[in-house]
Chain A
């Protein structure tokens, strides 16, 4: 599903060159739930950003769903992200000026041919899946951290993407809420077959996934 071949990411300034990812070769299979672990600064987020097409590798080839996406132009990248990928962030990144349902609808706004009625229907369905159908008209600042992350999950799955990239999704939550969010992701992986790549510091959560990939100083170590 996701294949990284010799992926390198180098951050250059006038004074210094930092290798964030050093020749990474990695394959994530369709329907797999993978955890990426490692200390801060080891390149986990850089890897996730590259897999999420939010950043380009310095060298190497990234293939998603059989398509080499490394040379995609901005518009094509945006469409690809919209169709294939869903994101869950540690700090939720909900738009506070939009209601819960409007936040969830957001990815569908950029998908052609989806009517406002369909958008609303799909958003409500996604919210039902995360157990928040009663909160559609609330605003993010009226929700708890766990509820916000569930809204973020609903937003990530509303467009039915094949891959979900989660950057420390339980990092800001207490253990009970973290469990709740983890359970939703596990169900999603099991029932819908969604491929999930999760960056986490939490060993306990990582052990619930099918595979743990460890990073250290920009290199895969296991």
Chain B
């Protein structure tokens, strides 16, 4: 029977071209927006390369310093981060600073994101190398002028020829390229066009003893529970107390990406409130789906009269209300799934377009367009959304159709 319904649904779609086109446009645009939105959220909080361990990765980029009853918030210094106490709950800690530099080459000007890091970054992040390797502990200790670049930078500097062993100039100093990696997701905190040892930072020693600085740390937690790291770190800070360079006390805010994201909608700076963010996200998603779903419900309801005769015939020959509901829902789900798949396809182009639009605001620092991708979990989520969309927009009209009085239906009326 289901095969018959599917056949009828496809035939109906072909015969009612105007309705089909209108429905498909509505559904595909809805799913496209949901997919781009979900992909964007996924890029920020999902476990994607290079942040496969994202749920265990905590970014420490803020310290509250309490002095004489007053507190100031600051970015930590490299010295402070180098002397963080050893944490039982953490697997490893990496120090890094995000910077930018501009290059002029063969008349082309380009901006590059520079990440000045230690060697631990390569253990935390999941980069894919296409050439060479990363820098080592010795390289970092000795301040070796070596660089790992991404494919986008390789294309810019070396026109896609082998880059290993060649050099690039950063802030007037030559760095030898020792590795090339696949471009990471543009929204990743670890995204960089060029990675160099932080010990090559020319400003490194000027702020040596201060707590305030320009560095961050990525802490890889041993467990999924980020609170353990936070609790341990804050308790260690309390022990350090007055010894911390004139500060009465210090408070650190290491948060995972999802926590940072949750925190953005929370007034509580100490602990993220997931519930609130989840609710906001859900409301946004539901609104995205509900408005076109209501339009589709209306469109379906307006077509009840058109299908009255068919409903009358089916009922006359023994169709139960349940069978009719099933039929109309299947029809709706099929058209929704087709629209959804079109929407998913469109979202790939829409996301690239979005990056291009973002890039047009800052042509110097262009994000790679191919890193904003629809991941499988997002694809599955959106397909699931399609099904829900199909059920929601089909159920009420289907129920209403199935309740139609058979005699009026046979007369082509829609008295219910």
Contact = CB atoms under 8 A, between A and B. Distances in A.
B410 A109 contact: no
A106 B322 CA distance: 16
B3 A110 contact: no
B407 interface: yes
Contacts of A169: none
B1 interface: yes
A97 B11 contact: yes
A54 B409 CA distance: 11
B11 A54 contact: no
Nearest to B16: A97
B8 interface: yes
B15 A107 contact: no
A78 B11 contact: no
Interface stretch (B119-127, B248-256, B310-318, B339-347): B310-318
A87 B316 contact: yes
Interface residues of A, number: 28
Interface string B1-25: 1011001100110010000000000
Contacts of B320: 74-75, 78-79, 110
B406 A109 contact: no
Contacts of A106: 313-314, 317
Main secondary structure of the interface of B (DSSP, over half): helix
B319 A78 contact: yes
B266 interface: no
Interface in A109-129: 109-111, 116
Nearest to B12: A97
Nearest to A79: B318
B356 interface: no
A78 B324 CA distance: 12
Contacts of A26: none
A98 B406 CA distance: 20
Interface residues of B, number: 25
A107 B319 CA distance: 8
Contacts of A102: 4, 7
Nearest to A155: B317
A55 interface: yes
A49 B4 CA distance: 28
A109 B8 contact: no
A87 B319 CA distance: 14
B8 A87 contact: no
A82 interface: yes
B318 A107 contact: yes
B323 interface: yes
A120 to B, nearest CB: 11
A201 interface: no
Given A81-B318, A97-B11, A109 B4 contact: yes
Interface centre among A78, A81, A107 (most CB of B within 10 A): A78
Interface in B296-316: 309-310, 312-316
A94 to B, nearest CB: 8
A95 interface: yes
Contacts of A54: 315-316, 406-407, 410
A75 B314 CA distance: 13
A49 B3 CA distance: 31
Nearest to A81: B318
B318 A111 contact: yes
A89 interface: yes
B321 interface: yes
Contacts of B319: 78, 109-110
Contacts of B318: 78-79, 81-83, 107, 110-111
A89 B8 contact: no
Contact of A87 (B11, B317, B321): B317
Contact of A81 (B1, B3, B15, B317): B317
A211 interface: no
Interface of A: 49, 52, 54-55, 74-75, 78-79, 81-83, 87, 89, 93-95, 97-98, 102, 105-107, 109-111, 116, 155, 159
